[in-house]
Amino acid sequence: MVSHSELRKLFYSADAVCFDVDSTVIREEGIDELAKICGVEDAVSEMTRRAMGGAVPFKAALTERLALIQPSREQVQRLIAEHPPHLTPGIRELVSRLQERNVQVFLISGGFRSIVEHVASKLNIPGTNVFANRLKFYFNGK
């Protein structure tokens, strides 16, 4: 475990910092919040717990959860509009301080880019510094 003073030194000397997003930069797990909007919260939350525990490989867990959720473009937009992610206390200040020192800040997530980009915009992080999965929709929004 890294001590508080060691962590401060790391942040102070860094040229770039990468943050995970779900349950780190934001309080929620984005995929679980999307599952709520789509009415399959319980099953997806259980799959997320198994995936985070390492019981299921990430790709398989993501594929399983997406098969259950089957989100539409409208549902993703509704999630961001009606239930936007909540930033973890102190993250806005930390990112701001890093940026003031010209430290590149990146958001890296196994979640969905549309949600992570929303978080990035709240933190003044450019979209080029966001790495996440892209949801692809058919012309009809499915």
pLDDT in tens, 85-116: 999 999 999 999 999 999 999 999 999 999 99
What pTM was estimated for this model as a whole? 0.87
Has residue 59 got a pLDDT over 90? no
The 10 Å CB-count burial string (b at 16+, else e) for 33-51 is bbbbbbebeeebbebbeeb
CATH of 4-133, one of 3.40.50.300, 3.40.50.1000, 3.50.50.60, 3.30.200.20: 3.40.50.1000
Q: What is the mean pLDDT of residues 111-127?
A: 96
Q: 32 an active-site residue?
A: no
Tokens of 37: 């909007």
